Structure 1
Amino acid sequence: MALWIMILRKMAKNKWLQLNLWFGLTVCVALFSSMPLYSEAILQRTLIKELELVQSQSRTYPGFIRISTSVSSSTMDEKTTAAIARADRYVQGIPERMGLAALSFYQQRFTQRMKVYGADASVQEKQSQKTAGAFKALSDVEKRVRLIDGRMPKVRQDGIFEALVTQKFLISAKRDLTEELVVESPQGERFRVIPVGIIDTDPAADPYLPFLATEVSDGFIIPFAQFEKEFTQGGKARVSDLEWRLALNYNQLTVDHVDSYLEASKDIKRYFRGRLGVDEVNIPASDTVASYAGKQQKLDVMMLSLYSPVMLMLAFYLYMAANLVIDRQKTEISVLRSRGASRLQIMASFTVESLLLGGSALAVGPFAGVWFTKLLGASNGFLTFVQRSALEVTLTSTAYKVAALAVAGAILLILIPAFMATRVTIVGHKQRMARLAAMSIWHKTGLDLVLVGLAVYLLYNFNNRQADLKRLALEQDALQIDPLLFLMPALFALGGGLLVLRIYPWCIRLIFWAGRSLWPPALYNTLIQISRSSGQYLTIKVFLIMTVSTGLFSANAARTINDNMESKIQYDIGADIALTTRWENDAPAPVYAGGAQQTQTDLGLAETRRTQYTEPPFQPFRELEGVESAARVFKKDARFTAGSEKNSGGATLFGIDTAEFGRTAWMKNGLLEYPINSYLNLIAPNPKAVLISRSLAEEAKVAPGDPISLAWDGLDEAQFTVYGIIDYWPSWNPLPARGQDEAAESAKPHLVVGHLDAIQNRLAVEPYEVWLKVQEGASSQLIYDQLADNKLRVTGLSDARAELIASKNDPFRLAINGVMTLGFVISMSISFMGFLLFWILNLSGRTLQYGVLRAMGIPFPQMIGMLLSEQLLTSGAAVLTGVMIGNLTSELFVPLFELSFATTEQVPPFTIVYHLADYVQLYSIVGLTLLIGMLILAYRLSQMRITQALKLGEE
């Protein structure tokens, strides 16, 4: 009991230090617990959204499962009947195997098809009647169909079957309701059937599994129990086909259960494969779900690497806070050691103290982790947030396990200073207090040189790897974001900061020596203080250096990744929306011969001729509400002849209206030697003017002013004049196709850009694309609705804005943007707390010094100037160092993110992006933090009482 009282009193005595230590532990718990929470929440949301997309595109419920199989047995013996019963039981257990609730279920049975004719039919009518049908059974038939006429069938004891039929089948049988029909099997067995009801589809009966009467409209639906008794078990006719349909609640599918869902899907297919006959298993969602297998593990690894800089900062913070707590208790520890207390007893008290803090952090931290996770989901870039639907986050056992491991690791870390302190006796402690601060352990061990060397070595290896990837043009699937891409910059920033701080005290001493006879007393005292006690400022300076440098790197990396992804999408489409429409033409109708579609020309039924097209009106596209401009863009694979040697080859021909194209197309700045509008203005006056790609110019040895002939199949060549040479053009990929040698000129694509009107007049009128530029604030859905309302026959559509939204919602991209933002916010928070903690304790420890200085006559403004100069030479210098190291880190390591892009498909080429707004935002946050800290310190200094300081000195 005495031990507990001592621990609680000690914690109360250092409550502010303990509070800061608890804050660090809580942030640590929240950070670690947010990793599994985020990966589960974001993957869960994207999984459900992709399943919903399956429903919107294929009009199939994502939880739909259809199993059908034929029955190969020629007779309904006991073995076949037992096999069908086992299949029924297996299907009943599918929802449990997949871990999803069944929203709807029905099954069907079919006999073999049999001849159908009227009971009163003549011999001639029987011979001429071609109607055939089967007996069918539908479970819960009365709930699934809509009765148009008649009534539901009943089971009769006189051997006559009452059945439901469709109107179409009844007409083909040439009989009315209640008229008896005869069903004759190939074996000669005859059945008497009376249709008592006409049915149709009832969409309102079941929103998940509506029974479509039109799917199998030729036959008699009899009660399910009667079918089982007469055919499945009675064997009066051969059961030929079985079908089961289920609708499972896909919203219950979680990322954790993806593997079990896929395994259950495979089990279903394995079970029915050849068991009864020829099977067909249709699970539309399986491909979408399969794409998520293993995604969570990859995302967890990526999250861990993204968090590594923040974890490094947290480790420093916890170590610093624990060290400050121990520093205030070193005298007490040394006294206890000198009075016989063992190191084990002292460590036990600190362990209990740490466990109390860790337990309280573990109780609060996971809930803060939930908030962190929601913050990640709302991030749209570095320090950029959007109104996105909040992630549905629930605490899981995995999050608590990870949080518990984080607390255990943090407790071990904060016990290190206590363990080191227990080795010192009272005599050793007094000796150390009397000496100047020695070199830090980081510099003694050369950790700064090791970290910088390791980061440079890894950078060298990554640069070599990147060169190999470009040279070999590997497939996109071979490229993944390496976790070291995020860890290396943190190691370099830490090592670089420690390296600068190794030589910084010598710079201060040089400044002091250069102006030792000129410095005012306040600055003189500050320079002496910093040069002689540089070690005590090391931790806070490392904090600030790491915060600023990693913040700059995070801003530049996030901006670069986002910009290159978005540029690729916009360049590939060429405008906000690109669409194709249906053109009327005189192409011959297809002829089906031998099971394949062939044209009349293929069959030799007509002479080879070119298809003539009728151009549809273009004005309706210009008049769409929300469309700022529209352009016609003709694309065609053509052949060219150019150069003095009459070189020829293939090229992509673009036909444009220069004014329309300039107002509509998207083009990234810097890709062309001059702005794209300059090239458009260049060819605008001359209808025969064209632009060609550099690859074509080099291969055909063509220069501006040379003629070039163009044509395609079925046309005579038309001559144009080259006016300019370009390297890129909206939606055109200048890179060789995969598997081709990039060095070979013949492998590089060629491009010719000319006037659409000239191409149509001199060559032919053929279908072109319509590019639209959408007004700011107008939605894509508005455009879609108008296209449908105006009956504009669209055959294909690409929406850049929709693809950009989908790209921004990608889990890995969200993780990069969110973690970099969250990491910087956390770094700033703990740096601010560490800044205040360090300087407040520093002021408290130097109360006597400040009191003596005031007693000597130094006015308060000079005291503030002394504090300000000390801040500028420590915190200010750390911020400037962080800026330099951050810029250097960005220059060295941001280019490595090109590894995460397909080098053979990245058009425009990968570029490093820096935005001044990011720097202003970052500096503003850091500056505001330091200003608030400085104001608090100045207030604390103004509250010091000189008499108490002098009294303390007398004691």
Structure 2
Amino acid sequence: MALFLMILRKMAKNRWLELSLLIGLIISVALASSMPIYTHAILQRMLIKDLEVQQSDTQRFPGLVNNHAFFTEVKDGANRMRDAEAYMSEHIKQFGLPILQSTITRSTKTFELTPSDPSKVDPKEKRYGEITAMTDLEKHIRLVDGVMPGAKLVDGVYEAWVFPELLTKLKIVLGNEVTVKSEEQNRNIRIKPVAVIDRADLADVYWTTNTMPDLSSRFFIPASLFEQELTKGSKFIDQLTYWNYALDYHQLKLEGLDTYITANAQMEEYAWNHLETYKSFNQTIVTLTTYDDKEKKLRILLWSLNVPVSILLAFYLFMVANLITERQKTEIAVLRSRGASRTQILLGYVIEGILLGGIALLVGPLLGLQLTQILGASNGFLSFVQRAAMEVKLNREAYQYGVIAVVASVGMTLIPAVLATRVSIVGHKQTLARKNKLSFVHKIYLDVVLLAVSMYLLQSFNRRMGDLVALGLDSMDMKVDPLLFVVPAIFIFALGLVVLRIYPWIIQLIYIIGRKWWPPYLYSTLLQVGRSTTQYQFIMLFIIMTLATGIFSASAARTMNKNVEEKIHYKNGADIVLQTTWDNDAPPPQSGPPGAAGEANASGSASGGNKRVQYVEPPFMPFSQLTGVESAARVFKKQDAYIALGKDTKKTTLMGIDTDDFGRTAWFRDQLLDHHFYEYLNVLATDSKAVLISRSIADEIGAKVGDVVRIGWNDVEGATSVVYGIIDYWPSWNPNPVLAAPTSSSSTSSSTSTKPTKVDMPKLVIGHLSFIQNNLAVEPYDVWLKLKPDMTSQALYELLEQKHMSVTRLVDTNMMVIRSKNDPFQLAVNGVMTLGFLIAISISFIGFLLYWLLSLYGQILQFGVLRAMGISFRQLIGMLVAEQLLTSGAAVIIGMITGNAASRLFVPLFQLTFDSSSQVPPFQVRFDPQDQLHLYVIVIIMIGIGLLLLGTMLSRIKIHQAVKLGED
């Protein structure tokens, strides 16, 4: 108890230092515990978001669980169907999700249909169809024409609903009775369509979960009638049964993934064991099975991103603990000299660490919960938006991470105490008299070793990156190597130590240069800083690492965000890329029984393969006149074109443009070409036969400016053009090499030899659209749109719908950029780096003030003596300013240089996290002046507040009190 009271008194005596240490511990625990919280929250958001995007892209409901099986009348088909149905309806509850819709669909196989009255329809026309029943169909349709069918046979006839497409396809009208001959039962089935129906709501889950391949050949009869007449007993007829269940995927939780996957596997196992011919469809499973891998990658990414700020926190904790220990070294030395063991002394520090660590463990995870909200709201580096709140919650893993952080942090704070207990009172006095000795790190040349290691790893990364880009290899999208974040932190730490190794020589040089002119107060400051290098190294290295890490984090986040956005803009070429419907004379698809359409089309294509389709160009002007559209351009692309120079012919992509419209509409980054993008368009506009060719064409066939070439494609007569320029990049064109698939050749032996992979260089020819249309052919082109700044994508969609513009394909660049910002890995980069930046600045500010306030208290006697010797208050302030400039100011400059060097050297390596073959335009390191301005403002405020506090405290020093304190 006495020991505990002594510890509490000691903590109260150093309350500000203890509070600073507690803040560092709490931040460490919060940062560690936020990792599993954020991982869970972002994966949960990504899971639902991926399923929503999947629904938008495929127009299929992600929560659909579908099984269908074929049952025959033999082997008791009706009973097996009922057993399977009972199992499905019960087992679907095992998925653990609310059931939004449950539908059972039964359908006969495809029959040939014969008109009951050949005089009313063409009897020579081949017709095929199926009889189908869907549970609750009448609740989800609207009657377009006719009357509702009867629930029983009407004079031996099945009355049916049909969709409008069936009447068109079979060339019949309502009331035309058709007959199906069932060979199995040797009886005829008569069907009469009496009602034309359509979906009541296209967005109804009932229809989005429908997996039947075709509705245009189906006669729908009431489910009860189908069950009674075609399923039960001796009337059973061969049929397909679909079990469709729509589950509420928005309620799917990460904790329930295993349950969901297991339930689906059990359902498939049942179908495998009990059903002869079946098929399962669960699109969600494909998404869910990848989440373990995504979680591992995200954890690696989070730990990697937090490496720099974790090093800063460890350094901060060590610095504060060292300051506490420094103030108690005399006390520790006295206790050791009076017989106290090292264990007894360390026990007090351990208890102190447990007390502070316990408080940190209580508060830290709650703070980590709030930090996760900051991560989720990030839309870029130091940018936040009102995004839907993430589902965050504390879990056992968060507290496990917190405990690990507490143990590691408390262990870090005990290091100075362990070192202090090894020193006797004599050794302590000797240390006080030798403040200018080298630190342990400098003695063993750890700074040089770490710098050499970081440079070696940098060279290794550069070699790997060069191979990826040169060979067009895929680095796997967002595959994160933790060393990409660890190595820069090591580099910053090592370079800071190296500079601090030579910094005393710089101070000495400054002292020697102006030795005859320095005023007394500056003379004293230079001697103080030059002879006490170890004393100032902690705070200088701390500031260096804070600033350098902040600059590196800002540059890395900005670079990754900007390059992702530019990659999307470049790949698409404009804000909106769309294609509209073109009228043509292509033959319509042939109709027939299932499986016959493909054969008919294939034969038709073969017979008419030499006939080129003729297209009619739709009006272009309406697109350029749309409200909110700044400019529009026609862009024609032909992938399988050719270019010929003499006898040398190469396959290429041919692009046709209108130079003026294209220049106003297309997105292109500056400095990608030898001259400005517009200059190439101006050169191209001078001659209708002019073309621009890619560098790959010039290299492979030796074409140069002024050469006459021939361009064209199959089925058209080529045209002569003149090369007016050679380009390396062009909007929407990827010049990076494509790695061709390896080819294998067989020999007489059993072994197979594989030929070396071949790198295929993409090729491009740009010409005038009008020249291509007049001399080659008119074929469909894309319409590129550049939107006005205040125009939204949603407004454009509504405008296109209002004007009834038929759009067959649309690419929205802005929506793709937004989707990329919502990517969990991108969110992690922005959120964690923003958080790390804010934490670094916060602890830097606390550490800075704490260090200098304690330093001032340590120099009170010196200042009192100087004042007694006649040094004025203004000169004392000058000493403080000079000391700040020579230490903190120098550290700021070194930190800026180190941060910029780390960014220039290591940020380009982040392109390893992307697919190098598709990273166009080239990866470029970005610095935002606003980020550095924020840093500089914070540093100026920090140093200004420090000087103000120090000056205020200095003004209150009483000379007689200072001298008296020295005597005591």
User: d(CA) in 1 for partners of 2:542 and 2:940?
Assistant: 14
Q: Is the Cα–Cα contact under 8 Å of residues 74 and 238 in structure 1 kept in the other structure?
A: no
What does residue range 254-293 of structure 1 map to in structure 2 within 5 Å?
254-293=253-292
Q: 1:300 to 1:168 in 2, by over 3 A?
A: closer
1:681 — aligned with what? 682
Distance in 2 (CA, whole Å) between partners of 1:220 and 1:639 is 56
Structure 1's 597 and 652: CA in aligned 2 closer, same or farther, altered over 3 A? farther
Kindly provide the amino acid, as one letter, of the partner of residue 632 in structure 1.
R
**Partner SS for 2:607:** coil
* More displaced stretch, 611-620 vs 377-386: 377-386
Shift of 1:617: 1.0
Alignment CA distance shift 1:217-1:915 (3 Å): closer
Counterparts of 1:109 and 1:684, CA distance in 2: 64
Residue 365 of structure 1 is matched in structure 2 by: 364
Task: Give 1:3's aligned residue.
Answer: 3
Shift of 1:111: 8.7
Of residues 98, 102, 116 in structure 2, which corresponds to 1:101? 98
Worse-superposed segment, 396-405 or 685-694: 685-694
Checking the alignment, whether the CA contact within 8 Å between 1:133 and 1:219 is kept in structure 2 is no
Determine if contact 2:68/2:242 at 8 Å carries over to the other structure.
yes
- Do the aligned partners of 1:81 and 1:232 also contact (CA within 8 Å) in 2? no
| Separation of aligned partners in 2, 1:112 and 1:566 | 51
C-alpha distance in structure 2 between counterparts of 1:364 and 1:217, whole Å: 65
Query: What is the CA distance between 1:47 and its match in structure 2?
Result: 1.9
**Which secondary structure state, in structure 2, belongs to the residue aligned with residue 349 of structure 1?**
helix
Q: Percent identity?
A: 47
Offset at 1:912? 2.9
Matched, 1:831 2:844: yes
Would the aligned equivalents of 2:570 and 2:920 in 1 still touch at CA under 8 Å? yes
After TM superposition, give the deviation of residue 18 of structure 1 in Å. 0.8
1:884 aligns with 2:897: yes
> Deviation of residue 194 (structure 1)?
15
C-alpha distance after superposition, 1:163-201 (max 9, x if no partner) = 9965899x99x9x99xxxx99987769999999x99978
Task: Quote the residue 1:325 is aligned against.
Answer: 324
Deviation readout 1:141-178 (Å, 9 max, x if unpaired):
99889999899979xxxxx9999965899x99x9x99x
Partner of 2:753: none
443-452 or 911-920, larger mean C-alpha shift: 911-920
Counterpart in 2 of 1:21? Answer: 21
In the alignment, the residues of structure 1 paired with residue 654 and residue 138 of structure 2 have an alpha-carbon distance, to the nearest angstrom, of 62
Alignment gaps of 5+ in structure 1: 123-127, 155-159
Which amino acid in 2 is paired with 1:94? I
C-alpha distance after superposition, 1:234-257 (max 9, x if no partner) = 777478554433222212223454
Q: Do the aligned partners of 1:183 and 1:192 also contact (CA within 8 Å) in 2? A: yes
Between the aligned partners of 2:363 and 2:374, the Cα distance in structure 1 is: 17
Q: Secondary structure at the match of 2:765?
A: strand
- In structure 2, distance between residues paired with 1:729 and 1:116: 57
Task: State how far apart, in whole Å, the 2-side matches of 1:151 and 1:751 are.
Answer: 61
SS of match in other structure, 1:710: strand
Summarize deviations over 1:42-76 as a string: whole Å, max 9, x none.
22222212212233344433222122223457243
C-alpha spacing 1:914/1:146, structure 2 compared with 1 (3 Å): closer
The equivalent of 1:442 in structure 2 is 441
Q: How does 1:138-287 map to 2 (within 5 A)?
A: 166=161, 208-209=205-206, 218=219, 221=222, 237=236, 240-287=239-286
The 8 Å contact of residues 740 and 757 in structure 2, kept in 1 or not, is answered as: no
Q: Which amino acid aligns with 2:432?
A: M
Q: 1:861-914, CA deviations, whole angstroms, 9 ceiling, x for partnerless residues? A: 111110010011111111111122222222222222232233332222233334
Q: Deviations over 1:188-238 (max 9, x none)?
A: 69999999x9997895899544698979965765669x969x999977747
Task: Name the structure 2 match of 1:812.
Answer: 825
Give CA-to-partner distance per residue, 1:625-657, whole Å, 9 cap, x none: 110001111222433333xx4533333222222
Moved more, 723-732 or 894-903: 894-903
Relative distance call for 1:672 and 1:318 in structure 2 (3 A) is same
Q: After superposition, where does 1:273-672 map in structure 2 within 5 Å?
A: 273-436=272-435, 438-477=437-476, 480-591=479-590, 595-598=598-601, 602-604=605-607, 608-636=610-638, 637-642=640-645, 645-672=646-673
Q: Return the offset for 1:596.
A: 2.6
Deviation at 1:624, TM superposition (A): 0.5
Q: C-alpha separation between the residues in 2 aligned to 1:610 and 1:134? A: 37
- Are residue 848 (structure 1) and residue 861 (structure 2) matched? yes
SS at match of 1:595: helix
Report the count of equivalent residues: 931
The letter of the residue matching 1:555 is A
Once the 2 structures are TM-superposed, how far is the Cα of residue 600 of structure 1 from its aligned partner?
Answer: 7.7
Letter in 1 for 2:680: Y
2:55 equivalent in structure 1: 55
Q: Which residue of 2 aligns with 1:92?
A: 90
For structure 2, the 5+ residue unaligned runs are 118-122, 743-755
How far apart in 1 are the matches of 2:195 and 2:703? Answer: 76
Q: What SS does structure 1 have at the residue aligned with 2:292? A: coil
Mapped partners of 1:161, 1:928: distance in 2: 93
CA contact (8 A) 1:473 1:903 kept: yes
Query: What displacement does 1:522 show?
Result: 1.1
Match of 2:747 in 1: none
**Code of the aligned partner of 1:791:** H
Structure 2 residue aligned with 1:157: none
SS in structure 1 at match of 2:923: coil
- Check whether the contact 1:164–1:220 (CA below 8 A) recurs between aligned residues: yes
Cα gap change, 1:625 to 1:291, in 2 (>3 Å): farther
Determine the structure 1 residue equivalent to 2:920.
907
Partner Cα distance (1:145, 1:632) in 2: 42
SS of the residue 1:285 aligns to:
helix
C-alpha displacement of 1:819: 1.9
Q: CA deviation at 1:745?
A: 11
Q: 1:594 to 1:73 in 2, by over 3 A?
A: closer
Deviation at 1:847, TM superposition (A): 1.1
Q: Is the 8 A contact 2:163 2:196 kept in 1?
A: no
2: CA distance, partners of 1:227 / 1:518 = 109
Alignment match, 2:808: 795
Shift in CA distance, 57/641, structure 1 to aligned 2, threshold 3 Å: closer
**Could you say which residue in structure 2 is the equivalent of 1:36?**
36
Counterpart code for 2:627: E
Letter in structure 2 aligned against 1:868:
V
Q: Distance in 2 between matches of 1:111 and 1:656?
A: 53
Aligned mate of 2:946, from 933, 936, 945: 933
* Offset, 1:439: 2.6
Q: CA deviation at 1:353?
A: 1.5
744 and 270 in structure 1: CA distance in 2 versus 1, 3 angstrom threshold: closer
CA distance in structure 1 between the partners assigned to 2:248 and 2:355 by the alignment? 44
Q: Evaluate the alpha carbon distance shift between residue 549 and residue 604 of structure 1 in structure 2; reply closer, same or farther with a 3 A threshold.
A: same
Q: For the residues of structure 2 that align with 1:370 and 1:918, how far apart are their CA atoms?
A: 26
Aligned residue identity for 1:844:
Y
Corresponding residue SS for 1:380: strand
Partners of 1:585 and 1:614 within 8 A in 2: yes
The residue type paired with residue 626 of structure 1 is: G
Looking at structure 2, the residues matched to 133 and 667 of structure 1 have their Cα atoms a distance apart, in angstroms, of 54
- Displacement of 1:782 in angstroms is 1.5
Q: Distance in 2 between matches of 1:888 and 1:32?
A: 29
Which among 760, 768, 771 is matched to residue 755 of structure 1?
Answer: 768
Give the secondary structure class of the aligned counterpart of 2:66.
strand
Kept in 2, the 8 Å contact 1:75–1:235? The answer is no
The SS at the match of 1:293 is helix
Cα drift, residue 289 of structure 1: 2.9
Letter in 1 for 2:91: G
